Structure 1
Amino acid sequence: MDPITAVTHADPYPYYTSLRARSGLAFDPKLGMWLASSAAAVAAVLAHPECRVRPAHEPVPRAIADGAAGTVFGQLMRMNDGERQRCPRAAVEPGLQLVPAEEIQQRVAALLLGLPRDTAARLHDCQFRLPVAVVAGLLGFAAHQLPEIAGLTRDFVACLSPASNQAQREAAHRAAEALSRHFEALLDQAPVSPLLQRIVNGFGRQEHDNLIANLIGLLSQTFEASAGLIGNSLCALLNDRQLLADLRATPNRIADLLAEVQRHDPPVQNTRRFVAAPCRIAGVTLEPGAVVLVLLASANRDPQLNPEPARLLLEREDRRSFSFGSGRHQCPGQPLALSIASTVVGALLRQTTLDQPIAWTYKPSLNGRIPLFTPLPESH
């Protein structure tokens, strides 16, 4: 196993423990990059100003640089540092904090009515389509537009992975163009939704293209992270039928489950940082051009961060986690993501979807841990 294949392994956590035992920050000659595996090293790398989200020589991946997806990518706050990250974040984050939980519940309930009855298709849509549709609806898209917006977001997200192929990249360019047109039309309507209005107010008039790109980014960040968070929460319940029964009896604890799963089995297992200038972290000198693979999932299970880290504890005191990032790049939509995921999982618990035997594999990915479910035939 290595830190890349660990992401989709059935149980990568003993391997992460072995990495922490060797060194919090160590060089992997096979991967050609540094591995930050301890909580202290991960915190230091994420906080250091010389550890950037993109390499200086390649702010946009070459494979998509010449198309619409590359244009969007280059303006995303999560793919920039400094003012190009701080200003969009300041515009987007306040509105996300003010979305009422009741509105999320209403939107999830309405969208669930339109999902297929087939278990596999239903779970897939709950993971991949429904969260994006909720956010798109909050931004003001009409109900009949939501399936198309979710599909375009899926196509755009594929280009964010270095493992994407030519066909996926071409589809991502088309999706970026189409999503841009949809947001242009949405912004021309009056009045816009309360969430969209708050975000628009945060951007200056000269920042129209940046606004469009980061609205697309809001959908794309929702897509796989929500799919993994919902999916891994369902895995926790399917692995522990007593926990499933307990939460059905006490549904007010579902939010605690999601808060613990995002630490215990996070949807984003790692992220990367690129060293822009010489710096010293965790007793190691890093040179410009060095790449650090930041193992968020390993740090979450560091006993220096959380006591009894391997246990899934709903009532964990002082829970600490790097799953949504840290510092200047901490995800601005964390409360919204947890609220949507909790509502979706709660709705599934009220149904019989999880009562039959279900197996899963993990979607191929370099950093995302996203289960794909398959119902098993019942034995007689």
Structure 2
Amino acid sequence: MDSDTLLARITDYVNRPNPYPLYAELREAGPVVRQADGSYLIGTYHEIAALLHDPRMSADPRCRTASSPSAETANLPFLRLDDPEHHRLRTLTMRPFGPPHSPGRVDAMRGEIAQLAKELMEDFQAGRQIDIVDEFAYPLPVTVICRLLGVPREDEPLFRAWSDTLVTSADVRPDEDSTERNQAGNQARIEMGQYLVDLAEQRRGHPTDDMLSAFVNEPDPALRLTREELAETAVLLLIAGHETTVNLITNGVLTLLRHPEHVDQLRREPDLLPQAVEELLRYEPPVHMRERIPRADIDVAGTTIPTGTSVVLVLASGNRDPKRFHEPDRFDPARPDNQHFGFGSGIHLCYGAPLARIEAEAALGALIPHLSTARLIQDPPPYRQNAMLRGPRHLPIQL
């Protein structure tokens, strides 16, 4: 088939269960492949790594030559901003989350996360059929991020609807008018932001041990987020704090059930689990693509990409590049030198990566003793619509 249809084929739902042959086709056609809609695809490891670290490549959608009016005026989370504004907001947001100002917050949650995983599995009895997504992989990170931010767990159905709309609006879908999706996403962002700001304001002057409270009770005026910044940042943390981790856990269970020999290996060698999580982040990552826009004409492997053009970096393809990884299509829990793109790279390296690793280790560590005798009910399982945040919507298994 023509290489200029690759993005359309990758994002076609029919290929959601297994996009990896298309990624191999992309690498073979690349490293830079122009698409019919004028965008560019890049799927080779070394080119992706270079561009993620190139300050000429912008994360800001307003840099697109053909950006929509809504994108021009929308407030953006720091994930979609460039330095120095990205650095300023990320640094302020990190103060109540991690080093150097809050070095123990995430580590202190290890026991709580392990206990939560144990509680979620109390009804996992032999002979039962369960849905890993609905009964485990979703409630674990949602509960953790709610506790971390200070969001009432009973409000989860409310923000789940907003989150689904926002994730849908952020998907990559060529040959589709995105106006309606963008409008719905903007409305959901406004409503969710207002909800989170209102929660934070309830804690102003009455601090509690959560991040929303820390944001509004920061004593130094120079280090405070504005109301608009707080709204965008809180929305980002709440969504990113569970959406990708759900995929990481679910993809991990699916991969292990497809490779039962490694389930037994991890039972015998539990100290290998952190390394196995890194391999899962490479082999079946929760995020498959990221968009960047060049602020100037930029040469990549002999191809000039014009200023303002959409460039889709296919991170999951880079993770399977044989020029970087030995036998890249083989799942190897003991793989050495595993510098994957599971959490991205460069200045936008995933803010919550330490927490996601702890959650994945706790989740899989709790499940592995049950997986030796479990079997998949449906393979491939039904997948989510989203091609960028790829993962099963349901994962039914028989214990």
Candidates 223, 244, 253, aligned match of 1:204: 223
Q: How does 1:128-277 map to 2 (within 5 A)?
A: 128-146=138-156, 148-161=158-171, 166=180, 170=184, 173-174=187-188, 176-189=190-203, 190-193=206-209, 195-196=211-212, 201=218, 204-205=223-224, 207-277=226-296
User: CA 1:325/1:178 → structure 2, altered by over 3 Å: closer, same or farther?
Assistant: closer
User: CA 1:237/1:122 → structure 2, altered by over 3 Å: closer, same or farther?
Assistant: closer
* Residue of structure 2 in register with 1:82 after alignment: 83
- What SS class does the counterpart of residue 161 from structure 1 fall into? coil
AA aligned opposite 1:131: P
TM-score normalised to structure 2 length: 0.79
Question: Deviations along 1:146-201, whole A, 9 cap, x unmatched?
Answer: 55444543344333336678489548625642443334323432223254566564
Determine the C-alpha separation between the residues in 2 that align with 1:63 and 1:221.
Answer: 25
Offset of residue 134 of structure 1: 0.7
Question: Deviations along 1:224-282, whole A, 9 cap, x unmatched?
Answer: 31122112111111101222233234434332222111111212111111222222222
* Residue of structure 2 in register with 1:42 after alignment: 48
- What SS class does the counterpart of residue 273 from structure 1 fall into? strand
- What SS class does the counterpart of residue 35 from structure 1 fall into? strand
User: Larger deviation: 308-317 or 6-15?
Assistant: 6-15
Aligned residues: 372
User: Larger deviation: 109-118 or 148-157?
Assistant: 109-118
Q: Tell me if 1:6 matches 2:4.
A: no
Determine the C-alpha separation between the residues in 2 that align with 1:59 and 1:131.
Answer: 37
Q: Tell me if 1:291 matches 2:291.
A: no
TM-score normalised to structure 1 length: 0.83
User: Larger deviation: 144-153 or 267-276?
Assistant: 144-153
- What SS class does the counterpart of residue 321 from structure 1 fall into? coil
Determine the C-alpha separation between the residues in 2 that align with 1:103 and 1:336.
Answer: 9
Q: Tell me if 1:368 matches 2:389.
A: yes
User: CA 1:366/1:249 → structure 2, altered by over 3 Å: closer, same or farther?
Assistant: same
Contact kept? 2:382, 2:394, Cα under 8 Å = yes
- What SS class does the counterpart of residue 280 from structure 1 fall into? strand
Determine the C-alpha separation between the residues in 1 that align with 2:352 and 2:83.
Answer: 19
Q: How does 1:20-99 map to 2 (within 5 A)?
A: 20-28=27-35, 30-56=36-62, 62=68, 71=74, 74-93=75-94, 95-97=96-98, 98=103, 99=105
AA aligned opposite 1:158: T
Determine the C-alpha separation between the residues in 2 that align with 1:206 and 1:95.
Answer: 12
Contact kept? 1:44, 1:281, Cα under 8 Å = no
User: CA 1:375/1:322 → structure 2, altered by over 3 Å: closer, same or farther?
Assistant: closer
Contact kept? 1:136, 1:149, Cα under 8 Å = no
AA aligned opposite 2:199: A
Determine the C-alpha separation between the residues in 1 that align with 2:325 and 2:243.
Answer: 26
User: Larger deviation: 283-292 or 197-206?
Assistant: 197-206
Question: Deviations along 1:99-144, whole A, 9 cap, x unmatched?
Answer: 3445244146337646887745453243334313211211223444
User: CA 1:332/1:175 → structure 2, altered by over 3 Å: closer, same or farther?
Assistant: closer
Question: Deviations along 1:263-316, whole A, 9 cap, x unmatched?
Answer: 112121111112222222222222123221111111112233222322222222
Question: Deviations along 1:308-350, whole A, 9 cap, x unmatched?
Answer: 3222222222211122121111112111112112222223334
Measured on the aligned residues, the alpha-carbon RMSD in Å equals: 3.5
Contact kept? 1:77, 1:85, Cα under 8 Å = yes
User: Larger deviation: 185-194 or 41-50?
Assistant: 185-194
AA aligned opposite 2:187: H
AA aligned opposite 2:76: Q
User: Larger deviation: 312-321 or 9-18?
Assistant: 9-18
User: Larger deviation: 117-126 or 41-50?
Assistant: 117-126
Percent of residue pairs bearing the same amino acid type: 24
Determine the C-alpha separation between the residues in 1 that align with 2:321 and 2:210.
Answer: 41
Question: Deviations along 1:204-228, whole A, 9 cap, x unmatched?
Answer: 3362320221111011112331122
User: Larger deviation: 206-215 or 318-327?
Assistant: 206-215
Determine the C-alpha separation between the residues in 2 that align with 1:370 and 1:59.
Answer: 31
Contact kept? 1:186, 1:192, Cα under 8 Å = no
AA aligned opposite 2:285: P
User: CA 1:64/1:105 → structure 2, altered by over 3 Å: closer, same or farther?
Assistant: farther
